[in-house]
Chain A
C-alpha cells in the first residue's frame, strides 16, 4: 500500500511540476536539434540520417569526441522557426531559406550563418495546362497581377486559354518562400485572399502537380526531383537554370542557410563539417538545389 501511496504522490508531484516556473533551464545533453525551413529540412534530415548511419557513435566520426550514440533531430516548421528556435533555445541549429532581415541579424549576433547553397522558386503550373504550349515565360508584372488576384482566370491572361479560375498555391507566412516572393514580385502588394496556403513546400509542390488550374512558386529542388510533373515558366525570360541561379540572375533565387552558434560544441562542428563536405553537397544536389561555391 505504501508503494501505491508513493506512486500517487509522485504523480501529484508531476502535476505540480506542470505548473513550474522557468527555473530549470536548458540542459546541455549530447544531441543536436535542428529546426526550421521545410525546404531545407528534407536535405538536412537526410544528411543526419546518412551521418548517423555511417558513424553510429561520435567517437567514430572524430576520435577526439566521446564514445556516445549520435543523436541528431530535424524538425520542420518554416524559416520563421529557423530564426526563432535557436534564439529561444528550442533548437540548437536553425535552417532558413531566405535572406535574413537586418532586425534578425541584429538578434543573431552569436550565430554564424553558413550558406549551403541556393534554391530558386520556379513559377510552376500543371503540365497539362495549355499555358505550357503557349508561353515559356511570364513577366514580373503578369505574375504580380495573377497573384494579387487582378487576373482571375486563365482566359484573362490570354484569350486562347480556357475560361477557368486560376488556383493560387502559396506558402503560409511562416515560410521563407512567401517572403522571397513578396520581395521579388509582389513588393508589398498583398497576395489575393483566395490563395490556398500550404503548410510546407512539399505540400505546395503536390498541389501544383495534382491541380490542373494551379500556379505556384515551387522550390527548384522539388521540380528537379519530378521533372515531367511540372510546367515551368521563366520569369522575364530568365529560366531557373543552375547557371542563372548561382550567377544571381534569376530573380527568385534564395539562399539556404544554417545558423550555428559561434561557440557551437564539437559535435555540432563535426556535423556541420559533414554537411559542408562532398557527401553533404552531393545530398543537396540530389535534392535538386544548387550548392554554394566553396
Chain B
C-alpha cells in the first residue's frame, strides 16, 4: 500500500497553478484601473483636475476642446441615488415579507420569481422604459417623457429584485435558534423581526443595497434608453441628463484613438469606476457600524398596533413588488406573444429596414455563441481561482485582499469592461469587431461573478469531509477529486448556468466589440455576429418595428429565464438531497 493516496506532485502542481491564475487574474483586473488612468493621463495633465471634474462643458470636438464631465457625474449620481430611494424600501420590505412573513405556499414561488428576475438583462428594462414609460409620461403632459426620474424608475425596477433577494438571503442565513427561542419566550413575530433579526441581518442587507447602488450607477443600457442624454446640469429629478456610462456608450465607437474626446471618455470611465468603488466601500463601512449600534437596546415589546402597522407595511411592499413586476412582464408577454411565431424564431431578418420583417435566427446563434464563448474562456481560470481560495489559500492578509479585489470586480460597470475590451482585443490585439473580441470581453465581465459562485459551490461541501480525508492521510488533490468535486458538481453547474445567462444578456460590452446589424448563419470566431440584446436595442432605437422589438425582447427574456430557472432547479435539488442525507 502506498503511504499516501494521491501524489505530492499533483498536489503541488495544482497549488502553484491555481496560485498563478489568481495572481494573473488579479493583475488583469487591477490593470483596468491603470488602463483607464493611462488612457486619460495626458488630459488630466493638460486640462487639470478641476476643469475636467468641475467643468460643465463637453465639447471635445471644438477647436479648443472642452472635456468637463461634471454634468455627467451629477446625472449619474442623481439617477442612481433616486433609483435607490425608490428601490431600497420596496426591496427590503419585499425581502422581509418573503423571508419571514409570507405564507409558505406563497413564499416559495415568490422567492423563485425574485431569483429569476435578477437574471433579466438590463436592455429589456431599458426597452420597457423607452417603449412604455416614456410615452406614458408624455401622455401625462410632460413635454418629453425622458427624464432622470424615468431612468431612476427603470433602474429601481431593475435593482429591486436584487435587494429583495439579498434581504431574503440575509435573513435566511440567520440560525433558526433565535426565532425558536424568541417565540418560545412569547415574543411576537414582528418584535422578533424588528429587534433581533433585522439588526442581526442589517450588515448583509446594507451590503445588498450598496451593491444595488453600484449596479445602478454603472448601468448603461437601461439609462441610455430613457434618460434623454442632454448635456445640461440637472437641477430637478424631472430634468434630463446623460450619465457617464451613456456618454461612453454613445461616443466611444466614433472617437479617434488618442484625441481629446477619446481621453475624455477614459477620464469619464475612470471617474465612474472610482465613484462605484467609493459607494461600495463607504456603504459597507457604514453598514458595519449600524449593526453594532442597533442591536444593543432591544427595547420593550411594542404594542400590537405598531406590530400590525409593520406587518401591513411589509405585506404591501411584498404585494406591490409582485404587482409591479407582474404587470410589467405581463405586458411584455402579451405584446411579444403577438410577434412570436416559428418563422420569427427560425427566419433571418428581412425588410427594407433589416429586422422590420423576418426573424431573428442569426441573432439567436450569435447570442448563444457569445455567451458560450465567454463561459468557455472564463470558467477554467475562475475555477482555478476558486479552488485556490477554497483549498490552498493560507488565509493570509494578501490572499484575503486578492479575493476581495477579485470579487469586488463584480461591481465593475459593464461599459468599462466594454471600453477595456475594445481597446485591448479589438484594437491592440487586432481581433477587430468579432465574436472572439466579444466573448473575451464578456468573459472578463462574468469572471468575478463566476469566481464567487464557484467558490461558494466548493465551500458548500462540508468541511468535515475534507478534514476527515486529510486526517486519513489523503492528499488534498486526491480528496478534491474524489470527494469535494463530485459533491460540488450541481453547484458548479448552476453557477455556470447563471454566468452564461449574465453573459448572453449583456449589451453594453458587445456594442463596440462584436455586434453588427446583419450576419449570416455561419459563425466564425474572427467575424462579428448579430446578438439578440443588440438587435433589440437597434430595433427599438430605429423605431420602425416595435412589434418585432417586443418579440425579440420576449425571446431574450424567455431564454435567460430558462437558464436561471435551470440553475435554480439544480440548486434546490441539491439542497433537498442534502437535507435528506
Determine whether the beta carbon of B138 is less than 8 Å from that of A210: yes
B330 touches A (CB below 8 Å): no
Determine whether the beta carbon of B542 is less than 8 Å from that of A203: yes
Give Cα A159–Cα B266 distance, bound, in whole angstroms: 46
Determine whether the beta carbon of A26 is less than 8 Å from that of B541: no
A193-237 vs B: 1/0 string, CB under 8 Å? Answer: 111111110110111011111100000000001000000000000
Determine whether the beta carbon of A199 is less than 8 Å from that of B541: yes
Which partner residue on chain B sits nearest A15 by CB separation? B381
Contacting residue for A197 out of B21, B71, B229, B433, CB 8 A: B229
A287 touches B (CB below 8 Å): yes
Give Cα A214–Cα B240 distance, bound, in whole angstroms: 15
Q: List chain B residues, Cβ under 8 A from A197.
A: 229-231, 242, 250
A64 touches B (CB below 8 Å): no
Determine whether the beta carbon of B254 is less than 8 Å from that of A193: no
Q: List chain B residues, Cβ under 8 A from A11.
A: 376-377, 379-381, 383-384
Q: Which of A46-54, A136-144, A244-252, A259-267 contacts B (4 or more CB under 8 A)?
A: A46-54
Please, how many residues of chain A have a CB less than 8 angstroms from a CB on the other chain?
81
Q: List chain A residues, Cβ under 8 A from B381.
A: 11-12, 14-15
* CB proximity to B under 8 Å, residues A81-111: 81, 83-85, 88-91
B49 touches A (CB below 8 Å): no
Q: List chain B residues, Cβ under 8 A from A130.
A: none
B528 touches A (CB below 8 Å): yes
Determine whether the beta carbon of A202 is less than 8 Å from that of B543: yes
A16-48 vs B: 1/0 string, CB under 8 Å? Answer: 101111101111010101010000011001101
Give Cα A33–Cα B432 distance, bound, in whole angstroms: 9
Q: List chain B residues, Cβ under 8 A from A213.
A: 143-144
B286 touches A (CB below 8 Å): no
A73 touches B (CB below 8 Å): yes
Give Cα A52–Cα B240 distance, bound, in whole angstroms: 43
Give Cα A81–Cα B255 distance, bound, in whole angstroms: 7
B228 touches A (CB below 8 Å): yes
Which partner residue on chain A sits nearest B440 by CB separation? A18
Known A-B contacts A193-B232, A199-B250; A45 and B518 likewise in contact (beta carbons under 8 Å): yes
Known A-B contacts A167-B144, A199-B224; A206 and B24 likewise in contact (beta carbons under 8 Å): no
Give Cα A172–Cα B246 distance, bound, in whole angstroms: 11
B325 touches A (CB below 8 Å): no
Please, how many residues of chain B have a CB less than 8 angstroms from a CB on the other chain?
79
Determine whether the beta carbon of B138 is less than 8 Å from that of A211: yes
Q: List chain B residues, Cβ under 8 A from A73.
A: 433, 516-519, 527-528
Known: A12-B381, A89-B432, A194-B240. 14 other contacts (CB 8 A): A11-B376, A11-B379, A29-B526, A45-B518, A49-B350, A72-B518, A80-B256, A89-B430, A167-B144, A173-B60, A173-B251, A174-B250, A203-B543, A206-B543
Which partner residue on chain A sits nearest B518 by CB separation? A45
Count of A-B contacts judged by CB separation below 8 Å? 222
B352 touches A (CB below 8 Å): yes
A-B pairs, 5 with minimum CB distance: A11-B380, A206-B543, A80-B254, A174-B254, A202-B542
Determine whether the beta carbon of B253 is less than 8 Å from that of A78: yes
* CB proximity to A under 8 Å, residues B384-438: 384, 424-430, 432-433
* CB proximity to A under 8 Å, residues B348-388: 349-350, 352-354, 376-377, 379-381, 383-384
Q: List chain B residues, Cβ under 8 A from A29.
A: 524, 526-527
B17 touches A (CB below 8 Å): yes
Q: List chain A residues, Cβ under 8 A from B379.
A: 11
A134 touches B (CB below 8 Å): no
Which partner residue on chain A sits nearest B353 by CB separation? A42
Known A-B contacts A195-B230, A202-B543, A206-B541; A12 and B17 likewise in contact (beta carbons under 8 Å): yes
Determine whether the beta carbon of A286 is less than 8 Å from that of B516: no
B469-504 vs A: 1/0 string, CB under 8 Å? Answer: 000000000000100000000000000000000000
A42-74 vs B: 1/0 string, CB under 8 Å? Answer: 100110110010000000000000000111111
Give Cα A287–Cα B542 distance, bound, in whole angstroms: 13
15 contacts between A and B (CB under 8 A): A8-B383, A11-B383, A12-B384, A18-B28, A18-B440, A27-B526, A74-B517, A75-B515, A77-B254, A83-B256, A194-B240, A195-B230, A206-B542, A207-B144, A210-B135
